[in-house]
Amino acid sequence: MLETPVLVTGANGQVGRRVLKAWKRERPSFHVAAVARESGQMWQAWTPDMPPVVSQARAVVGLWGVCFGTLEETRVNLDLARAAQSLATQTGADRVIHLSTQSVYGRSCLLAREAQVLTPASPYGQAKAEMEDMLRGTDGPRPIILRVANVIGADAISRSLAGTAPIVLDRFSDGSGPVRSFVGIADLARIIAALCTCPLEDCPDILNVAAPVDLPMNAILDAAERDFHWKEAPEGALPVATVSTQKLQQSWLPRPQACTAEALYHDWQMFRD
């Protein structure tokens, strides 16, 4: 077990809580110091105006973020990224893992590749694209940007599974429902853990993180044996929003294992609140 801890911010968020649970089940090779604005069972209270909770860190993992709101509101993500970089500088960490999103690809999200031009179509996607641009010019600890697909447990379909309201899915003119890239929490946690401990030169600058198989949303509902209703997709709705995982599949990083609707639903059950 490595003595110098990994410092995790946003531990009380949808992704943060679940990643910590995954690390509790499948312990990484490092200690974890987790923080959030309010204290919890697995994290300490901390805000960016406070001194770091540890004097030294191996890496900083930024799991915080604002997903909803106006562009001005979601631009808080830039401030959080700066705070994570500052935290790494203060604790001697040589890397910061930042969560971005496939939303940076906007409507050009058909097996979107890391090298393509970003064309975000939502305030959240625009703010994350601006965050990435800012980080590319930063000095100090190295930023590692993960463009994460729909995270089971923290995405729209998971909120539907957790609720009791009737579930409604868009249906397109060909009779199909929305197809998306997904990633399970256990797989995301393994990839983050690997990036925290590998030699710095082995880290990618930017990486799409998703299972290699894209799935229709209704397949996950079927796996959960949940009833749902179709409605005609509104104009402008995207039938397919997927990312290429070629770079991840060709890398040394752990391959995602939850690649079926049944496996993703099991992941949701394992790490649900």
Q: Can you give the pTM of this predicted structure? A: 0.96
pLDDT in tens, the chain (273 residues): 678 999 999 999 999 999 999 999 999 999 999 999 999 999 999 999 999 999 999 999 999 999 999 999 999 999 999 999 999 999 999 999 999 999 999 999 999 999 999 999 999 999 999 999 999 989 999 999 999 999 999 998 999 998 888 999 999 999 999 999 999 999 999 999 999 999 999 999 999 999 999 999 999 999 999 999 999 999 999 999 999 999 999 999 999 999 999 999 999 999 998
Task: Decide the pairing of beta strands 44-45 and 59-62.
Answer: unpaired
Q: Where are the beta strands (DSSP E) in the chain?
A: 2-9, 30-36, 44-45, 59-62, 95-101, 142-148, 150-151, 168-171, 179-180, 182-183, 206-209, 215-216, 229-232, 240-241
- Give the single-character DSSP code of 180: E
Contact indicator for 91, 84 with CB cutoff of 8 Å: no
First to last CA, the chain: 28
Q: Rounded CA gap, 255 and 270, in Å?
A: 19
Q: What is the CATH number of domain 2-149+184-210+243-257?
A: 3.40.50.720
Q: Rounded CA gap, 206 and 211, in Å?
A: 16
Residue spans of the domains in the chain: they are 2-149+184-210+243-257
Question: Pseudo-torsion of CA 11, 24, 207, 269, nearest 10°?
Answer: -90
Cβ neighbours of residue 164 under 8 Å, at least 6 residues apart? Answer: none
CA torsion sign, 37 to 43 to 49 to 50?
positive
Q: What is the CA radius of gyration of the chain?
A: 18
CA torsion sign, 91 to 94 to 100 to 104?
positive
Within a 10 A sphere around the Cβ of 94, how many other Cβ atoms?
14
Q: What are phi and psi of 241, to 5 degrees?
A: -140, 100
